[in-house]
Chains A and B, each alone.
Chain A
Amino acid sequence: MSTEIFGFDGVNVWVDGLVRVLLIVGFMTVVVMGLIYGERKILARFQQRLGPTRTGPVGLLQSVADALKLVGKEDLRPRNADAWTFELAPYLVFVPVFLGFVIVPFVLDWQVRILELGLLYFVAVTGINIVGWIMAGWGSDNRYAMIGGMRAAAQGISYELPLVLSLLAVAMVVEVPSDSATGESLRGSLNLNEIIAAQAEIPNLVWQPLVLIVFFIAALAELNRTPFDIPVGESEVVGGPFVEYSGIRWSMFFLAEYAALLIMSLIFAAVFLGGWAWPAGLFQDDPWPRWAQALLVTGKAGLFIFMVFWVRASVPRLRIDQLMSFTWKILLPLMFAQVLINGLVLVYDWPEIVLTVTGLVGVLVLVMAVDRAVRHPRPRPAPATQLEGEAAS
């Protein structure tokens, strides 16, 4: 088997794969450093500070300095820690995130592999890292880490559902370029390239406002970012599963966290904002050079990343029970409803404006439900001591 890379034909598939993966890993590391720097600068601006200024021009080398420091630190393992789980956990968090990059479309025809079931692959692969979190929490032999790990598991699994449903909702109704043989327009695709191509005219942002918001919320939770940073909450569980990690292992978690942020932002840009395609069908016939496409994707992904930082600088953390009720009682029913409506649109061939309208209604319902939950809270659940009585009887 052979393939084509950078204009070279007949390259062995394995060599090709290796080159691409190495490229991605190198690229990722640099970008993640940039992201960390960017986050610190942006957060600093939100907080009326300057952020890093001393290392290099305007602090540009801060991330490099941090990385060097982390690599140079001693890699400690607590004596009571479960050696294998403790040592392996960072890989189980780190590797799935990088595997996810296989399908990410950076620019037109520039990705590791174009997979027909791209979105499914993405969802499946990135879900694995929850195992790594639990392993880190369990293996550290630290109660904070264990609580953090358990919280991460609960949260990760719960928010996987709205995330998957939101991607499903989009994938269902996406319009695939029509088959030339039959002339019929087809619908539904999990291939990211096709999803982007379908947004050449109007991005999914317009058709699926509710889905977009739910995806953003679920992504925040999947990334363990504020307001869903419950597993790592500094003021509660002091870093959660990472509390015992140091040096390079800790930096692997850190790298994975930001890599996940990047991949999520790229998926967001591809699924909802149309990736490298210009809006309103501009330059559709004459694709721009790749650097311009890259700029566009960076801008779209940057929007997501900026929103994440913005949220981080301004909202408090939820509590674990609120987090769970929010996803199971509000997000999930809404997403089921949306998927159902999308299915109806698909089956009965209703005009697409129905999607926008129902989506906007859904957003309204979401806001009202949150408002109601906040302003008129239910009485608190009874303390767990009553459960013991039930078990005894």
Chain B
Amino acid sequence: MVVDTSATEFETQDLLLNVGPQHPSTHGVFRMVLEIDGELVKDLVPYIGYLHRGAEKLCENNDFRQGIGYMDRTEYLAAHNAELSYVMAVEALAEIEVPERAQWIRMILCELNRISSHFMFLGAFGVDVGVFGTPFIYGWRERERIIDLFEEISGDRMMFAYFRAGGLAWEVPLNFPERVREVLESARQGVKDFDGLLTQNEIFIARTKNVGVITADDAIEMGMSGPTIRASGVPLDLRKTEPYLQYDQISFETITADGGDVFDRYLVRLQEISQSIDLIEQCLERLEDGPIMPEKMPRMLRLPEGEVYIRTEAPRGEYGIYMVSKGGNKPHRLKVRSACLSNLQALKQMCVGQYVADAIIVLGSIDIVLSEVDR
């Protein structure tokens, strides 16, 4: 007997859910359209560009000193790291030798910025996972102390513009080492707080383990970098693989995890804070008096022809500057290689087949800064 089921069957339809650009968990003005079946994500289309300000074009029309300020604005949570790539690109093209003291101070500041950025991640991630406010305040508190220190040094809380091609804008305050040690002490406590609050929490583990998994091969194929790829087990840390500044002078191990899931990305970042604290202490021991700028620096830099691709390990991954100079005081072409952009590409792959709530925390675990994605 043939039963006609067409009349009794419901026609089902997938729901399109627009998340962002104004949504509490999109970390800025990111937008994704989820195609959901019940609570499961079947497809995900990301949209970016809401914060595109044309930083590259602006830099091409400003001289090498002015460009530093725009770098701060592309990566506002780790502005020192962004500046570093830029000034290193200028230095590489102009063949400027940076004094050793300036290099150590740069390292300290970049590592401090990594700590502050990772704390920011931990806080925001805690909120994504659903703890009401507590981790956010924990992270904010530690970040605030570091930012106070940055303000004492550079005069600004976020847009430092403290590095210069050749060295630093001015000498750090006299009590710099003591202040850094104070901050490190509190950061160490902050790591403990987070560790106690989240790492062993059953619900946290249940929510993050085996969620948003990306394998090592896929991560490489997608061009991911930073803690996101290290959590997949790829020991890709530019500080180790291609040491810049004085990273070859100090000892540290690349931190990796092998799960490639959200939990591992959290754990890698948490461990990196401890690692950075350790690194800064080593730097402070090596810090000696000396000049912070080369003796002869022209007032207006004019670079010879050439091109360079400088990459440094920013908190979110590889922050690259591709600079082409055709002579003169402005770059002919400046490309910012954003770690977040490449990491974000893998979002769809990590989210499809998971629950809606997972998509939110996967996005959080990539730790995007939209101003860096869009530039």
Which residues on B sit within 8 Å (CB–CB) of A315?
131, 201, 203-204
Is B134 located at the chain interface by the 8 A CB criterion?
A: yes
- Interface pair B133/A43, CB less than 8 Å apart: yes
B34 to A, closest residue via Cβ: A143
Task: Tell me, rounded to whole Å, the shortest Cβ–Cβ distance linking B319 to chain A.
Answer: 27
Tell me which of A235, A320, A371, A377 contacts B209 (CB under 8 A).
A377
| Distance between Cα atoms of A25 and B276 in the complex (Å) | 57
Query: Which residue, of B132, B137, B355, has the highest number of chain A Cβ atoms within 10 A?
Result: B132
- Indicate which residue in A48, A226, A318 contacts B206 across the interface (CB closer than 8 Å): A318
Give the complex CA separation of A280 and B17 in angstroms.
Answer: 57
Q: Which A residue's beta carbon lies closest to that of B352?
A: A383
Q: Are A384 and B137 within 8 A (Cβ)?
A: no
Complex Cα distance A313/B193, Å?
14
Contact of B23 with A238 in the complex, beta carbons under 8 Å: yes
A49 at the interface (CB under 8 A from B): yes
> Per-position contact with A for B225-239: 1 when CB-CB < 8 Å, else 0?
000000000000000
Minimum Cβ distance to chain B for residue A78 (Å): 15
Binary CB contact string for chain A from 295 to 326 against chain B (1 if under 8 A, 0 otherwise): 00000000000000000111111111110000
Q: Provide a sorted-by-A list of 14 A–B residue pairs whose CB atoms are within 8 angstroms.
A: A47-B134, A47-B137, A48-B141, A227-B203, A235-B127, A238-B24, A317-B129, A318-B207, A319-B206, A320-B355, A320-B357, A321-B39, A322-B207, A370-B202
Interface assignment of A116: CB less than 8 Å from any CB of chain B: no
Cβ-defined partner of A317 (8 Å) among B15, B39, B202, B207: B207
* Contact B358–A319 (Cβ < 8 Å): yes
Q: Given A43-B132, A47-B137, are A384 and B42 also a contact pair (CB < 8 Å)?
A: yes
Residue B38 at the chain A interface, CB threshold 8 Å:
yes
Question: Is B133 in contact with A317, judged by CB distance below 8 angstroms?
Answer: no
Give the chain A neighbours of B133 by CB distance below 8 A.
Answer: 43, 47, 313
| Chain B nearest Cβ from A168, distance in angstroms | 28
Is B137 within 8 A of A314, CB to CB?
no
Nearest chain B CB to A60's CB is how many angstroms away? 21
Distance between Cα atoms of A244 and B138 in the complex (Å) = 31
Most buried by B among A143, A226, A316: A316
Q: Is the CB of B38 within 8 A of A316?
A: no
In the complex, the answer to whether A321 meets B355 with C-beta atoms within 8 Å is yes
Q: Given the complex, which residues of A lie within 8 Å of B352, measured CB to CB?
A: 383
Other A-B pairs beyond A315-B204, A316-B126, A374-B202, 10, CB < 8 Å:
A46-B134, A48-B137, A226-B131, A229-B130, A236-B357, A315-B203, A316-B201, A316-B203, A380-B354, A385-B37
Determine if B120 is an interface residue (Cβ-Cβ < 8 Å).
Answer: no
Contact, CB under 8 Å: A373 / B357? no
Q: When the two chains form their complex, are residues A235 and B353 in contact, meaning their CB atoms are under 8 A apart?
A: no
Residues from chain A with a CB closer than 8 A to the CB of B40 are: 383-384
A52 within 8 A of B: no
A316 touching B131, Cβ below 8 Å:
yes
Contact code string B115-157 (vs A, CB < 8 Å = 1, else 0): 0000000000011111111100110010000000000000000
Contacts of B201 in A (CB 8 A): 314-316
A144 and chain B: residue at smallest CB distance: B17
A320→B354 CA distance, assembly (Å): 12
Question: Is the CB–CB distance between B42 and A371 below 8 Å?
Answer: no
Assess the A377–B134 pair: CB atoms within 8 A: no
* A343-390 CB contacts (< 8 Å) to partner B: 370-371, 373-375, 377, 380, 383-385
Chain B residues, Cβ within 8 Å of A320 = 39, 355, 357
Max chain B C-beta neighbours (<10 A), residue from A314, A317, A319: A319
Q: A377 — which chain B residues lie within 8 A by C-beta?
A: 206, 209-210
Contact A383 B130 (CB under 8 A): no
Q: Is A66 an interface residue (CB 8 A)?
A: no
CB closest residue in chain B, given A367: B202
In Å, the complex CA distance between A143 and B17 comes to 7
What is the bound-complex CA distance between A143 and B352, given in angstroms?
A: 19
B356 part of interface (Cβ distance < 8 Å)? yes
B269 shortest CB reach to chain A, Å: 17
Interface residue? A75 (CB, 8 A): no
- What size tier do the contact residues of chain A reach? 35 or more
Q: Is the CB of A147 within 8 A of B203?
A: no
Set of chain A residues within 8 Å of B203, measured between Cβ atoms: 227, 315-318
CB B195 to nearest CB in A, in angstroms, measures 14
Q: Bound complex: CA of A338 vs CA of B16, how far in Å? A: 44
Give B355 Cβ to nearest chain A Cβ, in Å. 6
Alpha-carbon separation in the docked complex, A93 to B185 (Å) = 49
In the assembled complex, the Cα of A161 lies from the Cα of B210 at a distance in Å of 30
Q: Does B94 contact A (CB under 8 A)?
A: no
CA distance A29 to B174 in the complex (A): 58
**Distance between Cα atoms of A238 and B39 in the complex (Å):** 15
- Asked if A391 lies at the interface with its beta carbon under 8 angstroms from chain B, I say yes
When the two chains form their complex, are residues B206 and A322 in contact, meaning their CB atoms are under 8 A apart? Answer: yes
Q: A68 to nearest B CB, angstroms?
A: 25
Task: Assess whether A319 is in contact with B357, with CB atoms less than 8 Å apart.
Answer: yes
Those 9 A-B pairs whose CB atoms lie nearest each other, nearest first: A317-B130, A316-B129, A47-B137, A235-B25, A383-B353, A384-B37, A316-B130, A374-B202, A384-B40
Check B132 against A313 for contact (C-beta < 8 Å). Answer: yes
The verdict on A4 contacting chain B, using a C-beta distance below 8 Å, is no
Is B45 on the interface with A (CB-CB < 8 A)?
Answer: no
Quick check: is A201 within 8 A (CB to CB) of the other chain?
no
Residue of B nearest to A237 (CB): B356
Taking a contact as CB atoms under 8 Å apart, the answer to whether B202 and A49 are in contact is: no
As a 0/1 sequence over residues 182 to 208 of chain B, the CB contacts with chain A under 8 angstroms (1 = contact) are 000000000000000110011111110
Give complex CA distance A369, B194 in Å. 26
Q: In the complex, what residues of B have CB within 8 A of residue A234's CB?
A: 24
**Which residues of A (21-38) have their CB < 8 Å from a CB of B?**
none
A233 at the interface (CB under 8 A from B): yes
CA distance A313 to B23 in the complex (A): 22
Could you tell me the distance between the alpha carbons of A147 and B127 in the complex, rounded to whole angstroms? 20
- Note all chain A residues with C-beta closer than 8 A to B24: 234-235, 238
User: Min CB distance, B344 to chain A, in Å?
Assistant: 18
| Residue of B42, B203, B205 with highest tally of chain A CB at under 10 A | B203
B42 / chain A contacts, CB cutoff of 8 Å? 383-385
How far is A43 from B128 in the complex, measured between Cα atoms in Å? 18
Q: Which residue of A lies closest to B130 (CB)?
A: A317
Closest chain B residue, CB of each to CB of A309: B132
